[in-house]
Structure 1
Amino acid sequence: MRLRDSLWIEWTIALRFLLDNRLQSLLIIFGIAVGSAVIVFITALITGLQANVIERTLGTQAHIRILPLDEVNRVVPLPAGSVGLLLESPRAQRLRSISNWQAVRQVLDQQPQIRAVSPQISGPALARRGVARSSVTLLGIDPERYLKIIALDQELIAGEFRVEAGHVLIGKELASDLGLGIGDKLRLDAGDGREALVDVSGIFELGVRELDARFVYLDLKQAQTLLDLPGGVTVIETRVEQIFQAEQIAQRLARLTGLQAESWMQTNGQLLNALRSQSLTTEMIRIFVGISVAFGIASVLAVSVVQRTREIGILRAMGSPRGQILRVFLLQGGLLGLLGSAAGSAVGWALVQVFNGLGPKLFQIILDPVLIPVAMLLATLTGVLAAAFPARRAARYDPAVAIRYA
């Protein structure tokens, strides 16, 4: 018998067996559809939630920060034969510039994994307006480079993005605390008589209260003057192409530059743990739903084998080889998985659209186009594997015994 004819016979028998007991087949297809819908929707939801959390978190910070090495105490060597007791306190860290930072910036610009590099100087100061005052952090930036790290111009709620001599950007909370508006004067005091009177050109809202209450963006040169670091920068911020490789890239940059390299994964350990827990939860849901689907298919086909004992015996008596009987039940498992997953994927897609259209609209779920075909493929393979045991049992039937006791 030619292969094409054999396959046609097997498909015909498999479909006949499924259609003869429509209610049983519909119930298992419904169960598979529910499982597939859960997998598609939950996977898309968790992926969308993680993307939103990462975007909001990393939207206000760099992926990797290059910093000067910490200063440490020097231990004076004792003369030979001497014994001494050492009481050492950690050394206070003063505001310091990165040595030869222009060369470091040039090296970072040449790294293929780094998308943007921005030198910056930051330090503490006191913001005053009349009798009101507030402790702030001065951030001296190169506007063109900094916007490639953080899209600060898109976070403005008033004014314009103007960072130059005599003009600064302040956060919404700081503006509220000091009663400031666009065009108002603000005095910045960095201590030791270093002061500057500046105009507020823009007000931003990063969505983090602490940042909106403390950050003051100003021109790099003016910040260097106020912080008494002429020509220096205290940190070089970068963005990388692959954010989840930031820690490995940071370690390589530390070896390359001889400086500290601090990744977002190091400074946001709790966030990273939360993301990993969400991913683990999603995987567990997939596994348990897959197991339940597999057991459902296996149980239905096991019952089908018992119900079809006589038909199987007749097929074997008519010359059908064991391999053909085996393939009939494997095809049934695959068809159940395919039909159920197709219906479930459609339901999952519809749930995503309902969430995006009628949900709380906290974030948008972007459905990965690969998710639905992969879910259908896995469900089909699960159906075939689940059908393996009942199929082997049916293929081993002796035709005479099957017909006699059916």
Structure 2
Amino acid sequence: MLYALKIASRYMTSNKAQSALLIFGVAVGVFIFIFMSALIGGLADYILSRTAGDLSHVTIEAEARVPALLLHDEKGAVLMVQKKDTSREARLSSVDAFIPVIGKLPGVKAVSREITGGGFLRRGAQSAQVSVTGVEPAKVSAIINLKSYLVAGTVDLGPGKVLIGKKLADDMSYRLGQTVELQADTGISQSLVVSGIYEIGSGGPDRRQAYVSLATARTLFAMPQGVSRVEIKLADLYQADTTTARIKAITGLPATSWTENAAQLLDALKAQAQTGLMLKSFALITIVIGIASALLLSTYRRRPEIGIMRAMGAPRSFVVTVFVIQGAMIGLAGGLLGAGLGYLVLLAFPGREAFKPGNLPIDITQGAYGLAILLTVISATLASILPARAASRVDPVTAIGQ
């Protein structure tokens, strides 16, 4: 084995230009593999962070019951069926007892109780319809990281404070510290101070969403007990279905996973992952073809040397080992060079914490460097088998005569 390694090394150094070109070609393939891994992985993380990352991964929400109001005539016949809007009456009365249990489930990062409803935000003659969410002051950024989207003020919600989106503030000419009137759909009004302005980047929440404290929401929506829904954040959003099933089994509450309403997003991410796999596979195929072609050419040029080795009693297995070792050495050298180049290039891109719209969301931590080197060495070794077998079949007499 050591002698085969020595001969393989000699073949590598005898034509330094050819070996360098071959190693560089392998390095380019490895660089493409690493770059695509970082790009596809970073893009998937960016999409999830901008969609499911800012959503509740598991939601427990009370179902609104809308009882029908029957109008009868004097004889008892039904004249009309009128439905009454009781959406604000939907509440989870017993959920508080299960909050500690849910919070201790594996993978649960945060549990946020909320009261939701509609209303109007007024200042003078101006009025805007808004969706109101009452949250616990300590968990304002538990589900949606409002702190990271803040453009003015603070996310600290106390009594008499409201947090609104930038588009709503611009449309209504609201400024930080102004007093506005929030009238809920219950008819109850309360004067609040604009304590913070955020900008998520999507028109809906920025224009129509207002956040108040849970205590303020209880007053506005006349809900002294219970909540409208409970939102749960997970460390791994792909475990949402499993966690949802556990919550249903333990509490009996109507829990739903974010995946139930995001089937298209999951399909898009799967298609994206498959596209990345195909591109990386093409890079490996290019490496295999390049190494196999170069070693076949090397075999043809070294036929006399191979013939001498065979005439001196070297078995076919020894010749095969020489060329397989040479292929593995090329793969290892090219893999290390490509991985190093890939890491240095990816250092120039911002990390996942600094992803911004318009920039390439490349995650250096998902470059799959070790996997790229391992697959390259395996591919290079496999690519050398065909040339090695061809070299082992060289007839010593014919080769020496050439």
Same fold (TM over 0.5): yes
Match of 1:280 in 2: 274
> Which residue is 1:182 aligned to?
176
Write out per-residue CA displacement over residues 156-192 of structure 1, whole angstroms, 9 at most, x where no aligned residue. 2222333222111111111112211122121112234
Residue 59 of structure 1 deviates from its aligned partner by 4.8
The alpha-carbon deviation at position 401 of structure 1 amounts to 4.4
Q: What residue is the counterpart of 2:115 in the other structure?
A: 121
- In structure 1, what is the equivalent of residue 394 of structure 2? 397
Aligned-partner Cα distance in 2 for 1:93–1:220: 20
1:77 aligns to what?
A: none
Equivalent residue, structure 1, for 2:72: none
| Deviation readout 1:207-243 (Å, 9 max, x if unpaired) | 2221111111112122122223221211101111212
In structure 2, relative to structure 1, the CA distance for the partners of 1:376 and 1:177 (3 Å cut) is same
Distance 2:340 2:51 in 1: 33
* Deviation string, structure 1 residues 117-138 (Cα, Å, up to 9, x no partner): 1110111111111221111111
Partner of 1:267: 261
Partner of 2:76: none
**1:373 maps to which residue?**
370
Between the aligned partners of 1:232 and 1:344, the Cα distance in structure 2 is 58
CA distance change for structure 1 residues 286 and 370 in 2, over 3 Å: closer, same or farther? Answer: closer
**2:338 aligned to 335, 344, 356, which one?**
344
User: SS at the partner of 1:368?
Assistant: helix
TM-score of the aligned structures, taking structure 2 as reference length? 0.87
Indicate the SS of the match to 2:92: coil
Shift of 1:9: 1.4
Residue correspondences, number: 385
Whether the aligned pair in 2 keeps the contact of 1:316 and 1:322 (CA below 8 Å) is yes
Return the alpha-carbon distance in structure 2 between the equivalents of residues 398 and 259 of structure 1.
78
Taking the aligned partners of 2:172 and 2:46, their CA distance within structure 1 comes to 32
Larger mean CA deviation between 190-199 and 367-376 belongs to 367-376
Residue 306 of structure 2: aligned partner:
312
**Separation in structure 2 between the aligned mates of residue 92 and residue 328 of structure 1, nearest angstrom:** 82
TM-superposition CA deviations, 1:276-313 (whole Å, max 9, x none): 22211111011111112111111221222222222112
| Structure 1 CA distance for aligned equivalents of residues 82 and 188 of structure 2 | 30
1:27 lines up with 2:21 in the alignment: yes
The more displaced of 314-323 and 281-290 is 314-323
Distance 1:207 1:108 in 2: 31
**Which range moves more in the overlay, 44-53 or 233-242?**
44-53
Moved more, 327-336 or 253-262: 253-262
Q: Could you list the runs of 5+ residues in structure 2 that have no partner in the other structure? A: 69-80
Alignment of 1:53-202 (within 5 A): 53-69=47-63, 71=65, 94-95=87-88, 96-202=90-196
Which residue is equivalent to 1:253? 247
CA distance in 1, matches of 2:367, 2:117: 47
> What is the CA–CA distance in structure 2 between the aligned matches of 1:159 and 1:316, rounded to whole Å?
82
3-state SS of paired residue (2:364): coil
Q: Distance in 2 between matches of 1:99 and 1:331?
A: 71
Cα distance, 1:61–1:90 mapped onto 2, change above 3 Å: farther
Q: 1-side partners of 2:82 and 2:257: how far apart?
A: 27
Q: What value does the CA root-mean-square deviation take over the aligned residues?
A: 2.8
Determine if the alignment matches structure 1 residue 329 to structure 2 residue 323.
yes
The one of 267, 287, 295 equivalent to 2:289 is 295
Cα distance in 2 for partners of 1:71, 1:300 equals: 74
Q: Distance in 2 between matches of 1:14 and 1:136?
A: 74
Aligned to 1:81: none
* Contact 2:117/2:185 (8 A) holds in 1: no
**Mean Cα displacement is larger for which, 114-123 or 242-251?**
242-251
Q: State the partner residue of 1:78.
A: none
Query: Which residue pairs with 2:359 in the alignment?
Result: 362
- Superposed, which structure 2 residues align to 1:191-270 within 5 Å? 191-270=185-264
Q: Find the partner of 1:40 among 34, 38, 43.
A: 34
